[in-house]
Structure 1
Amino acid sequence: MSGSPNVDVAVIGSCMIDMICYTPRIPTPGETLCGTSFELGNGGKGANQCVAAAKLGARCALVAALGNDVFGLKYLEHLKGAGIDVKHVKLSEERHSGIAQITVTENGENCIVIVPGSNSLLCMEDVKRADDVLLKSKVVVFQLETPVTTTVQALKYLKSKGKCTTILNAAPASSELPLEAYILSDIFCVNEIEAGQLAGHIVTDFDSAKKAVAFFKSVGCKTVIITLGEKGIVYSDSTGNPVHLPVRKITPVDSTGAGDAFVGALAYYISRQPDLPFKDQIQRSAHIATESVLNRGTQSSYPTKEQLPKELFDS
């Protein structure tokens, strides 16, 4: 372990091959709709968040599982090209690489179907094999596109052995999410749909988000972030009541992966600018996520540090 470099952000999570269809609108059940264009891209919440942080200048490592197929091999080279430590990304002979079928409408809305494939094989043994990077990471990020049991076990492991800040992006929302996941994560982050599914009521605005925050705090969360799209962000840390932060008003081009851009940026700021007030870390992360919505694609839409205003990186 002594020979391994220090890592700013490690991500334990998913890789997906994005198959993106651009259409005028979401088709209704049973309807065949003629799309306008198609793109093949790199996605998966785990890899997205890792790439987003790396593009901002964080030293990143990914713990994940790809299929040993043409998609997986190509994805691995892409991650290397992004400067990400991939020595703990395994190639599986048992399952194909994960796939995401994404439909994006003319107004930037999207709907997604995922087939986890090799992502479902990520296990605690993979996490322990990666302790040379995980136990040196400043921030470790999780999502729910890999087995929930692995996520909870890894959170326990890092809580007992590591000194990192953990972020659980509970997406997609899982009815099987155990109480330990809420308690063990340092930062619990969801969007309005996931917040509603987990808290048991519809979340659309500040008032309903406050109610969801109260629920998450009641089950053991320390810090909660709920993203509301164009309606802003609601957060509550261990010191105060829920706070509502507005976001820039824009005309969206493609919102796919914007939540992952936010989480990756937040991991960057916590690891590289830890003295920045939490409110500022969130606001700057939201600015970067909004920037991604102005471009098509997922990881390809994420801005680099050089493409962003310099004041976003001032202390």
Structure 2
Amino acid sequence: MNSKIVVIGSCNIDLQCFTPRLPRPGETLHGTEFRKGFGGKGANQCVAAAKLGSSTAMIARLGNDSFGQEFHRALKDNKINTDYVLMTDGVSSGLALITVAQNGIAIVNAAPAVTNPDPLVFRLSDIFCVNESEAEVLTGMAVQSVDEAKVAVGLLLDKGCKQVIITLGASGAVFASQGNLTPVHVPTKTVKSVDSTGAGDMFVGGLAFYLAYYPQLPMREIVKRSCEVATVSVQNYGTQTSFPTKDDLPTELFL
């Protein structure tokens, strides 16, 4: 395997239901549209990097069912090395149920988040990147503003992370490192979001791409460009289908 970026993670089929608003607990709400697509954190990030022009490989396991076989073909169609994507008999491929409201906000189940991971996860990560919800789980504090994210970055650095990035959706991202403990906020431009599904994965895929192919750039510029490509994805429906290719983006993002 001779790939610039290798991703270990999940491959899930996304089942998206579009509704006028998000339903209340126990409420039955009429949906306006239903879509099926490819998702999963690992696969999304791998596809995002591949669409930007990276040579990528995926390490994952799929059920040897119709969903898994379809997903395996889709990875190949995106020119991703699938030598280490295992097809397993007797198990079902992963499914994600996603509700998208008219304002473009996507709701998924975050209940399985790990609240107390092995300390080595923090210390052995060169870059520890989480969104605001994940940061809340890992730090035990609210992360709903840029200022709160700056505090949370410091708490994660205290756990032994070398460098931390917290993505904040429409507010951009905040980052800091052991070498420079002062948190830096990188804003992003305001756009009309129609579907936020996978935007964080587009950011991480972009981050991996720029780290691999533009290592000479300062971290602030890498984070800024990653925010920009993620911003493009929220203006389109779907998960991987919303990810831009290199040809869709301004040339200055690749200088």
TM-score, normalising length from structure 2?
0.97
SS at match of 2:21: coil
Structure-2 separation of matches of 1:245 and 1:172: 29
1:205 is aligned to 2:201: no
Displacement of 1:238 after TM fit? 2.9
Structure-2 separation of matches of 1:238 and 1:281: 18
Match for residue 123 of structure 1? none
Displacement of 1:172 after TM fit? 6.5
- Write the letter of the residue equivalent to 1:238: Q
- Total equivalences in the alignment: 254
- Write the letter of the residue equivalent to 1:207: D
Structure-2 separation of matches of 1:49 and 1:213: 22
Match for residue 183 of structure 1? 123
CA contact (8 A) 2:11 2:41 kept: yes
Q: Tell me, which stretches of 5 or more residues in structure 1 are unaligned?
A: 115-170
CA contact (8 A) 1:172 1:194 kept: no
User: After the TM superposition, which residues 278-289 of structure 1 pair with which residues of structure 2 at under 5 Å, given as runs?
Assistant: 278-289=219-230
Match for residue 230 of structure 1? 170
The partner residue of 1:272 within 204, 209, 213 is 213
1:60 is aligned to 2:1: no
Displacement of 1:84 after TM fit? 0.1
- Write the letter of the residue equivalent to 1:247: T
Superimposed CA distance per residue, residues 64-102 of structure 1 (whole angstroms, 9 cap, x where no aligned partner) = 010000000011001000000001000111320000000
Match for residue 37 of structure 1? 33
The partner residue of 1:73 within 69, 73, 78 is 69
The partner residue of 1:14 within 10, 13, 18 is 10
Match for residue 22 of structure 2? 26
SS at match of 1:279: helix
1:107 is aligned to 2:103: yes
Superimposed CA distance per residue, residues 210-263 of structure 1 (whole angstroms, 9 cap, x where no aligned partner) = 211111111100100001111221100232110011111011010000000000
SS at match of 2:98: strand
CA contact (8 A) 1:232 1:247 kept: yes
User: After the TM superposition, which residues 293-304 of structure 1 pair with which residues of structure 2 at under 5 Å, given as runs?
Assistant: 293-304=234-245
Percent identity of paired positions between Structure 1 and Structure 2: 51
Structure-1 separation of matches of 2:227 and 2:149: 17
CA contact (8 A) 2:157 2:177 kept: no
TM-score, normalising length from structure 1?
0.79
Structure-2 separation of matches of 1:236 and 1:113: 29
Structure-1 separation of matches of 2:233 and 2:227: 10
- Farther-moved stretch of structure 1 (21-30 vs 45-54): 21-30
CA contact (8 A) 2:157 2:178 kept: no
SS at match of 2:210: helix
Structure-2 separation of matches of 1:173 and 1:263: 18
Superimposed CA distance per residue, residues 112-155 of structure 1 (whole angstroms, 9 cap, x where no aligned partner) = 148xxxxxxxxxxxxxxxxxxxxxxxxxxxxxxxxxxxxxxxxx
Query: What RMSD over aligned residues (CA atoms) do the two structures have, in Å?
Result: 1.3
- Write the letter of the residue equivalent to 1:304: T
CA 1:289–1:82 in 2, change beyond 3 Å: closer, same or farther? Answer: same
Q: Tell me, which stretches of 5 or more residues in structure 2 are unaligned?
A: none
